[in-house]
């Protein structure tokens, strides 16, 4: 994952510069320029820590939901299954890097240009709110959800419907959080 982020740095820097427009206050514009010109090295240090914390929180929430729905939430097996299910992100990241690299740095004008997806969001070009919502529905996200449903079903011994409910609530919470983060980061 770190390798992909390293190679995506020129594209994300260009997208960050694309967030500056005529209505951007001067201090904000300067902060965006500074952020875009920072080397990728500092991200490579903090990203694994942030990813680890995110996985711990996600597995904790999933464990709590499983315990609420089935009364059998075990953190370590759910955490392990969560990490394995998250591996689905890797092919998605490699495909995004490939597509963005083939397009070239000059084709990146906003964050929407570096967020590649196999889903309904690929047909949205102008409406950024709709794009944010639809990026949560794609092939890799469906694969991830199916893996989590199977894991919760096997770990807790719950029926399929209960496992779908647990993962469904978790997915809605996660999607809402990601949409909020995207909107706060300027993709609004």
Count of structural domains, the chain:
1
In a domain, 116, yes or no: yes
In a domain, 125, yes or no: yes
In a domain, 117, yes or no: yes
In a domain, 174, yes or no: yes
Among 5-14, 124-133, 155-164, name the most confident range. 155-164
- The pLDDT of residue 82 is 94
In tens, the pLDDT along 56-90 reads 999 999 999 999 998 788 899 999 999 999 999 88
| Half-sphere exposure of residue 107: CA atoms within 13 angstroms, side-chain side | 10
Residues in the chain: 188
Region 159-170: mean pLDDT is 95
186 — pLDDT class (breaks 50, 70, 90): low
In a domain, 6, yes or no: no
The answer to whether the beta carbons of residues 62 and 78 sit under 8 Å apart is yes
Domain carrying residue 62: 46-184
Is the model's pLDDT at 188 over the cut of 70? no
In a domain, 23, yes or no: no
In a domain, 95, yes or no: yes
Q: Could you give the CA distance from residue 10 to residue 31 in angstroms, rounded to a whole number?
A: 17
- Kindly tell me the number of DSSP H helices and DSSP E strands found in the chain: 8, 0
In a domain, 152, yes or no: yes
């Amino acid at each position: 994952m770190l390798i992909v982020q390293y190679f995506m740095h020129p594209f994300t820097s260009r997208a960050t510069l694309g967030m500056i427009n005529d209505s951007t206050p001067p201090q904000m514009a300067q902060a965006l320029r500074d952020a875009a010109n920072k080397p990728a090295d500092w991200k490579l240090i903090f990203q694994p820590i942030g990813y680890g914390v995110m996985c711990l929180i996600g597995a904790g929430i999933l464990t709590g939901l499983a315990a609420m729905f089935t009364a059998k939430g075990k953190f370590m097996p759910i955490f392990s299954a969560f990490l394995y299910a998250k591996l689905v992100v890797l092919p998605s990241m490699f495909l995004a890097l490939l597509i963005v690299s083939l397009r070239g740095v000059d084709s990146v004008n906003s964050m929407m240009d570096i967020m590649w997806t196999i889903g309904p969001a690929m047909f949205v070009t102008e409406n950024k709110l709709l794009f944010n919502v639809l990026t949560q529905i794609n092939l890799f996200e469906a694969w991830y959800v199916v893996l989590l449903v199977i894991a919760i079903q096997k770990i807790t011994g719950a029926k399929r419907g209960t496992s779908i409910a647990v993962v469904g609530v978790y997915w809605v919470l996660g999607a809402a959080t990601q949409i909020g983060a995207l909107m706060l980061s300027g993709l609004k």
